[in-house]
Amino acid sequence: MKNLVIVESPTKAKTIAKFLGKDFKVESSFGHIRDLPKSKLGVDVDNNFKPQYVVPAKSKAVVNKLKKLAEKSNLIYFATDEDREGEAISWHLATLLKSPEEKIKRIVFHEITEEAIEEALKNPRGIDLNLVDAQQARRILDRLVGYQLSPFLWKKVARGLSAGRVQSVAVRLIVEREREIQAFKTVEYWSIDAKFKPTQGKPIEFEAKLNKINNKVIDKLEIKDEASAKKIVDDLKNARYLVSEIEKKETRKNPLPPFTTSTLQQTANQRLGFSAKQTMRLAQQLYEGVELGSGGAVGLITYMRTDSVNLADKFLGEVQPYIKNKFGASYTTGPKKYQAKSRLVQEAHEAIRPTSASNDLELVKQYLDVRQFKLYQLIWQRALASQMSPAIIDNTRIDIEATNTPYSFRATGSVIKFDGYLKVYPNNTQENILPALKEKEVVELIKLSPEQHFTQPPARYSEATLVKALEEYGIGRPSTYAPTIATIQERGYVEKEEKRLKPTDIAFLVNDLLVEHFPKIVDFKFTAHMEDDLDEIAEGKMKWQPVIHGFWGPFKQNLEKKDEELSKKELTEQKSDEVCEKCGKPMVIKVGRFGRFLACTGYPECKNTKPLNGENGEPPAPPEKTGEKCPECGSELVKRKGRYGEFVGCSNYPKCRYIKKEPVQEFGTCPQCGKGKIVGKRSRRGFFYACNQYPECKFALWGRPYLKEGKTEPEKCPKCNSVLVYGPKDTIKCSNKECKYKS
């Protein structure tokens, strides 16, 4: 009789099977094999919140197969992931298979390597029911909120909406940031830069900023307007410039700790442009196993859902000689241990790292696709860098006095004396070399440059900054960040605009409704406290039923009260000055699933509606006429704004649905396939540029390609030869995330 090993994914099963002999059979459960039913609440609230689990139709054949194999097996090893979800899958399997307890073994590992699997088989344990209870409590809480609040929103606002215990808090963060931006008042201010050069020695030019007036460091907003800046420039024109003080300081820049789930998602978003969901999908592939030629499948990274920064002693012992041999003895300082910020470190108990330092970039690159390799490279670099020497940087500060005036300037420079960990994990540390000067030395003014600025509102959240905010508030856990961000976009609460998360009209309405009428559901502290309770359940310090009971009673009571008190009309209608052009009755502003619109109060006799795209709830200006006639009905063609931007269509819409096809602007030949052309495209996530040979070629850019006047091909980066694109404020930058070139 063989031993049966059950994992949750076929890829993971294939990798593990390679390490085990003929005495083992490895099978996949294909994820969860039992769950709450989709068609009803599935929780018996009157029977101590007993969950009513069902086996979905898609899982029945898998369950039957596993039952037959289990009956014939000597031992059954559940090798699902070592977190709450993985533990729950093992528990559901054990419950369904109904095998004798002595046959069931639970094995765990943080990496899928032969050594790790062998070690796990030597040290089996039982199923951790505390972890199962924590997962079950989260699932039931989320079901109670989602399946009770969502129908309330359908009834009071619009069909298709949803609310969730964590997703609604994430939407609140995004809505509140948008309101900060809307309320922001721009303030003008000026800066004054100077360009100097030494009067002796090498004439190396350098820049300095005006930083003191009357020996007092100036505030950023001190110079308020052009007249003030001009007066300072006039005062400085005839001044003599002396070096008043020089300070040199050596600083040590320490490496960052290895990745957790949160920091991996943030860094992959910032450096590679990957969404949280995409990062986790790629990390899952690297964890479960990749075919490395004749060596077969091997897991390349450790488990990717973790908030621990620990590294295994085995890896620490392996990586130090690797660094010494590859980079030299000066790049090693001995094993480094990092301390987690969180009071309670969740999920798996090791940081995300390569399973072996010897699986270096040159070795694995040929076996990975482009995106897999980029993420593996990031993980490999960060893990190695965490165990390398600090970078040593020489910083220099030079203060320059404008004699006979109250003004002084400051120049700062830095030189990397020893690159240390920056050799494998470069960041934005840039050198700025200053000339060798002495105190009291005279320098020559080359140019004064006054520049106008305006204060900027806070930036919208990116996926990276939203993950960081959720983590800082204690909302969610490593396994929930990516699905939460994906869900709020899929449900239409958030759209991406230039890679930033922008709330839709419906997000404002639903958020305001929840804040006013269901404040605990979107309260940051309450949600974080609930996460702490789930942690306590996982550690066996609390029982799960009292936690659910404490939440359910007040929530249910408030829901019933609000259902009676609130009407759909008062929540979703707002008066307007518009009059229906079809029947003469007043029009009101309504909110539907896709945002705000104008609707006639004569409904259902009059079903006239109009889009509402104006600012502050005002109706939009009448469509602009183009002077052209519709080729299908002869009516005027007008410019309209749609979901994906401006277009030209028939004024007789909806009777005539003609839309004019605009000529497609091309931005040169696709550098990936060499056949297609780069063209602008729109999606629900915003405007982007891609090859017109899609889906055969999947080349895409988020920035507009930079073409010089009169040229038909985009300019290439002088450093890496990638396409140059426009960045913020019409700067030019490289489209390659790993290249920092800007001009």
Q: How confident is the model at residue 729 (pLDDT cuts 50, 70, 90)?
A: low
Q: Could you report the per-residue pLDDT of 445-478, keeping only the tens digit for each? A: 999 999 999 999 999 999 999 999 999 999 988 8
Q: Is the peptide bond before 695 cis (omega within 30 degrees of 0)?
A: yes
Per-residue model confidence (pLDDT) at position 642: 60
Give the CATH number of domain 264-385. Answer: 1.10.290.10
Residue 99: strand pairing partners: none
Q: Is the per-residue pLDDT at 72 higher than 70?
A: yes
Q: Could you report the per-residue pLDDT of 306-319, keeping only the tens digit for each? A: 989 999 999 999 99
Rounded CA-CA distance 157/165 in Å is 19
Per-residue model confidence (pLDDT) at position 616: 46
The active-site residue out of 189, 303, 461, 689 is 303
Top CATH class of 136-184+459-565 equals mainly alpha
Q: Is the peptide bond before 390 cis (omega within 30 degrees of 0)?
A: no
Rounded CA-CA distance 465/601 in Å is 43
Q: Could you report the per-residue pLDDT of 248-282, keeping only the tens digit for each? A: 999 999 999 999 999 999 999 999 999 999 999 99
303 belongs to the catalytic site: yes
Rounded CA-CA distance 732/743 in Å is 5
Q: Is the per-residue pLDDT at 431 higher than 80?
A: no
Global pTM value? 0.77
Rounded CA-CA distance 87/74 in Å is 22
Q: Could you report the per-residue pLDDT of 19-44, keeping only the tens digit for each? A: 998 999 999 999 999 999 999 999 99
Q: Could you report the per-residue pLDDT of 92-137, keeping only the tens digit for each? A: 999 999 999 999 999 999 999 999 999 999 999 999 999 999 999 9
Per-residue model confidence (pLDDT) at position 615: 46
Q: Is the per-residue pLDDT at 620 higher than 80?
A: no
Rounded CA-CA distance 41/54 in Å is 12
| Residue 414 C-alpha from the chain's centroid | 32
Residue 512 tokens, joined: 């305001």
Residue ranges per structural domain of the chain: 3-127, 136-184+459-565, 188-254+391-454, 264-385, 570-650, 666-734
Residue 531 tokens, joined: 């996460």
Query: What is the average pLDDT value for the chain, to the nearest integer?
Result: 90
Q: Is the per-residue pLDDT at 226 higher than 90?
A: yes
Top CATH class of 3-127 equals alpha beta
Q: How confident is the model at residue 707 (pLDDT cuts 50, 70, 90)?
A: confident
Per-residue model confidence (pLDDT) at position 348: 47
C-beta separation of 540 from 531 below 8 A:
no
Q: Which residue has the higher pLDDT, 652 or 196?
A: 196
Residue 315 tokens, joined: 């890896």
Q: Which fold has domain 188-254+391-454?
A: Topoisomerase I; domain 3 (2.70.20)
